[in-house]
């Protein structure tokens, strides 16, 4: 495999850093010192893609990146997202052009930069034509506020509609051994259009990194508490998938998480995973996946192990699923 991958005209290390967990998602935010150590540690270890969003910690995550990484701005590619934010204490999806322009200015201020390299529409606001939202992002690109446009959790049809307005450099969607919905249509559309696929939750929200000790003890604010795959009955069934994954990892001289990331890296040079973590040891482990080589037989065996009918539970509950535009597998 190549030592770099191309994203929106930038050459980046094959594995980026998803920064959400520094602020929210899987429990309390990291302390300022821990967040700084993680971000600078990532930079020093060769990470060149840092991914954040206005949503993460409702601005807190962008502020951390701005404070810690602004002095090193020339050393990395910065990605952020708009279209979901907090207003009057509530989470809101809003893709109106005037809102996207305003939230971009807010993000630039928090990130302490003049330009965002890759700016995603975090969710398509289905009350606004995708052409209007992407048109607003195109205006921001022409104004020099952003360099490239991305979309998150969209269908192949929506991607094509958006791309007709302005080139879409990347689609960010969940993609891992146990979440392969992008293979239905989006990945093919990305390749048709020359769009990269940025894979969030490539470790299955820690499941593929050898599971969780006890899902019943997850923090009250942990997103996984509301996800079908992490409900006790489904999770108990899913645990049966881990021992074969551990066995294959031992055979390849790596950890289960590294094996899962390596499988994703082998899906194509246009696939860029962005695992998140708050711990330097986990960061180093994740980056080590770039050196794991898998032959076709091993890749096929992993795909069979995590075939859709072997995974218990959907990736999202009904309310969250209604917010996304991605294709879905038929109910099993």
Catalytic residues: 56
**What is the DSSP pairing of strand 196-200 with strand 84-87?**
unpaired
216 vs 228: CA distance, rounded Å? 13
SS3 307: coil
**What is the DSSP pairing of strand 170-174 with strand 196-200?**
parallel
**What is the DSSP pairing of strand 116-121 with strand 196-200?**
unpaired
Strand partners, 118: 79, 148
Residues 6 or more apart from 248 whose CB is under 8 A from it?
Answer: 259, 298, 301, 302, 305
Residues 6 or more apart from 149 whose CB is under 8 A from it?
Answer: 118, 119, 120, 121, 134, 137, 138, 141, 162, 166, 167, 168, 169
61 vs 19: CA distance, rounded Å? 7
Asked if residue 29 lies in contact with residue 60, where contact means CB atoms within 8 angstroms, the answer is yes
Asked if residue 72 lies in contact with residue 65, where contact means CB atoms within 8 angstroms, the answer is no
Q: 46's torsion region: left (phi>0), alpha (psi -120 to 50) or beta?
A: left
Q: How far is CA 144 from CA 73, 116, 139, 171, 199, in A?
A: 16, 9, 9, 21, 26
280 vs 306: CA distance, rounded Å? 28
Q: Which two tokens stand for residue 77?
A: 């590619």
């Amino acid at each position: 495999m190549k030592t770099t991958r191309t994203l929106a005209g930038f050459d980046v290390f094959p594995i980026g850093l998803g920064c959400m967990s520094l602020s929210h998602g899987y429990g309390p935010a990291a302390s300022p010192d821990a967040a700084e150590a993680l971000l600078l540690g990532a930079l020093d270890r060769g990470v060149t893609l840092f991914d954040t969003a206005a949503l993460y910690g409702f601005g807190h995550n962008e502020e951390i990146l701005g404070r810690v990484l602004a002095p090193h701005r020339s050393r990395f590619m910065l990605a952020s997202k708009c279209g979901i934010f907090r207003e009057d204490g509530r989470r809101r999806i809003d893709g109106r052009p005037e809102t996207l322009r305003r939230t971009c200015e807010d993000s630039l201020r928090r990130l302490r930069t003049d330009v965002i390299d890759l700016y995603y529409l975090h969710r398509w606001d289905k009350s606004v034509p995708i052409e209007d939202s992407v048109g607003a992002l195109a205006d921001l690109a022409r104004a020099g506020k952003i360099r490239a446009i991305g979309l998150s959790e969209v269908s192949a049809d929506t991607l094509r509609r958006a791309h007709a307005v302005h080139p879409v450099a990347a689609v960010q969607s969940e993609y891992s051994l146990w979440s392969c919905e992008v293979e239905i249509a989006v990945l093919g559309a990305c390749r048709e259009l020359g769009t990269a696929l940025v894979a969030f939750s490539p470790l299955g929200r820690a499941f593929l990194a050898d599971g969780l000790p006890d899902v019943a003890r997850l923090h009250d604010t942990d997103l996984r508490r509301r996800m079908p795959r992490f409900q006790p009955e489904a999770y108990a069934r899913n645990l049966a998938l881990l021992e074969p994954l551990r066995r294959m990892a031992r055979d390849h001289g790596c950890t289960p998480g590294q094996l899962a990331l390596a499988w994703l890296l082998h899906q194509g040079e246009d696939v860029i995973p962005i695992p998140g973590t708050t711990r330097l040891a986990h960061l180093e482990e994740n980056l080590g996946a770039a050196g794991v080589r898998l032959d076709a037989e091993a890749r096929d065996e992993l795909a069979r192990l995590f075939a859709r009918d072997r995974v218990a539970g959907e990736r999202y509950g009904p309310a969250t699923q209604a917010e996304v535009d991605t294709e879905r597998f038929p109910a099993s």
